């Protein structure tokens, strides 16, 4: 059987840069605090007329170009996002229309920061069972629309971005060796965007005034510790499933939640921080977009070499976590 391979990647970030220094002007915060506690120096903010499908379209076009494929070739589009253009229809449907991918079935997956890994895992199953020959998996967010810009503990973290990968059954390309995904719904209240959901409807003046339409993090410092554990265990799970040890892995491309989390889980795994791809300083946390954005940057910058074994891993709201192991070509 032909292997399932990543045959093209792409990414896009909006032009507008919001630095910590600019946030200092409106918030009781400092560049020093944000850099020390998170590693973030700046993040990107979408234009008012840019929706998730617009960011996703630009990232997808680059991934398709890298794959040498046209939109009509695509069988399946999975968009991982918690900020779709509309609650209905799915953001993936707007993306399908904008790309002109008229032969693709399209749907969203809601798994917060782990969304791209969930998307890879779903695509892997469809390609394995033979129903589809290829899939476009995208992670994209316009989180800036959901933030409470007066909440210094949260708004400093997030950014807008998109990344995409084309998967195909093929003899050439980076082989997707495994995916593993996990959920813990009992801790679902830790990262919450309640407004507009059926638990809080109807949308009212009160729901707006209570900030229910804003992204909230509860007990973020407790979640920090869970994140370190789940990142490390996810990497170990991916390596062990394929008969490798962590020392066999050449590069870890993790979700970018906090530079301190990345350092802590690298220490826990006893891997050099040099083996962990970090770009949080420039883009902040763009939830489902961080992993495909980082993957595309690693590919295009030459950070990934032929034969490298790469673990993609994420942890986020839901709670959700997971990993994928890819052997580069
Ligand atoms: O991607 C999904 C997964 N996300 C996560 O897992 C997030 C995990 N959590 C974190 O990354 C960190 O917990 C945060 C970056 C969110 C917060 O960092 P922390 O070191 O846990 O800070 P803290 O919440 O314990 O707050 C420490 C202090 C508090 O002041 P007091 O009570 O000690 O006087 C906060 O009010 O820092 C204060 N603080 C700030 N000060 C300046 C919180 N935010 C800010 C800020 N600027 N922006």
Which residue's CA is minimally distant from atom 13 of ligand 1?
221
Active-site residue, 182 included: no
316 ligand 1 Cβ < 6 A: yes
3-state helix, strand, coil in the chain (%, to 5): 40, 25, 35
pLDDT band at 300 (very low <50, low <70, confident <90, very high): very high
Note whether 92 and 187 are same-domain residues. Answer: no
pLDDT score recorded for residue 298: 97
Report the nearest atom of ligand 1 relative to the CA of 156: 48
Place of tokens 């962590």: 246
Q: Is 188 helix (H, G, I), strand (E, B) or coil?
A: helix
Q: What is the dihedral of CA 36, 149, 90, 122, to 10 degrees?
A: 10
pLDDT digits (tens, 9 = 90+) for 85-96: 999 999 999 999
Note whether 139 and 216 are same-domain residues. Answer: no
Residue 88: which CATH number?
3.40.47.10
Q: Is 263 helix (H, G, I), strand (E, B) or coil?
A: helix
Distance 216 CA to ligand 1 centre (A): 13
**Domains held by the chain: number:** 2
Spatial separation of the C-alpha atoms in residues 51 and 6, rounded to whole Å: 26
Distance 327 CA to ligand 1 centre (A): 36
pLDDT digits (tens, 9 = 90+) for 171-223: 888 999 999 999 999 999 999 998 888 888 788 888 888 889 999 999 999 99
**Phi, psi dihedral angles at 64 (to 5 degrees):** -65, -40
Active-site residue, 213 included: no
Residue from 36, 54, 19 nearest 140 by CA? 54
The average confidence (pLDDT) of the chain is 96
Spatial separation of the C-alpha atoms in residues 276 and 268, rounded to whole Å: 13
For 163, the domain range is 3-173
Note whether 76 and 217 are same-domain residues. Answer: no
Note whether 168 and 184 are same-domain residues. Answer: no
Q: Please answer whether residues 308 and 250 qualify as being in contact, where contact means their C-beta atoms are separated by less than 8 angstroms.
A: yes
Active-site residue, 329 included: no
pTM: 0.97
pLDDT digits (tens, 9 = 90+) for 133-163: 999 999 999 999 999 999 999 999 999 999 9
Note whether 51 and 108 are same-domain residues. Answer: yes
Note whether 160 and 183 are same-domain residues. Answer: no
Q: What average pLDDT does the segment 325-329 reach?
A: 94
pLDDT score recorded for residue 254: 98
In percent, how much of the chain has pLDDT > 90?
A: 91
Identify the active-site residue in 113, 155, 182, 235.
Answer: 113
* Alpha-carbon separation of residue 186 from 181, 190, 317 (angstroms): 16, 9, 11
Q: Is the peptide bond before 319 cis (omega within 30 degrees of 0)?
A: yes
Note whether 107 and 184 are same-domain residues. Answer: no
pLDDT score recorded for residue 1: 67
292 ligand 1 Cβ < 6 A: no
Which residue's CA is minimally distant from atom 2 of ligand 1?
316
């Amino acid at each position: 059987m032909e292997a399932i391979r990543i045959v093209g990647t792409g990414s896009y970030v909006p032009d507008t840069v919001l630095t910590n220094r600019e946030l200092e002007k409106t918030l009781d915060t400092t560049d020093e605090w944000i850099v020390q506690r998170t590693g973030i120096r700046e993040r990107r903010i979408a234009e008012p007329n840019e929706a998730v499908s617009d960011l996703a379209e630009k990232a997808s076009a680059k991934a398709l170009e890298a794959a040498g494929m046209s939109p009509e070739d695509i069988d399946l589009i999975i968009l991982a996002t918690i900020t779709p253009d509309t609650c209905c229809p799915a953001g993936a449907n707007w993306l399908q229309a904008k790309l002109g991918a008229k032969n693709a079935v399209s749907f969203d997956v809601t798994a917060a920061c782990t969304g791209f890994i969930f998307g890879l895992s779903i695509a892997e199953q469809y390609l394995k069972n033979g129903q589809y020959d290829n899939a476009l998996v995208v992670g994209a967010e316009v989180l800036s629309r959901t933030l409470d810009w007066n909440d210094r503990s949260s708004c400093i973290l997030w950014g807008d971005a998109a990344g995409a990968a084309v998967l195909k059954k093929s003899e050439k390309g980076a082989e997707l060796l495994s995916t593993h995904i996990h959920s813990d719904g009992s801790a679902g209240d830790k990262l919450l965007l309640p407004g507009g959901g059926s638990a809080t409807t109807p949308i009212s003046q009160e729901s707006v005034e209570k900030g229910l339409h804003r992204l909230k993090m509860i007990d973020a410092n407790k979640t920090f510790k869970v994140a370190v554990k789940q990142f490390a265990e996810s990497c170990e799970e991916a390596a062990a499933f394929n008969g490798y040890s962590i020392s066999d892995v050449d590069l870890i491309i993790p979700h970018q939640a906090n530079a301190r989390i990345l350092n802590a889980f690298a220490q826990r795994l006893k891997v050099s921080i040099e083996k962990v791809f970090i770009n949080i300083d420039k883009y902040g946390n763009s939830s489902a977009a961080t992993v495909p954005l980082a993957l595309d940057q690693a590919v295009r910058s030459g950070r990934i070499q032929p034969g490298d074994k790469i673990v993609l891993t994420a942890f986020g709201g839901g709670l959700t976590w997971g990993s994928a192991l890819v052997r580069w070509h």
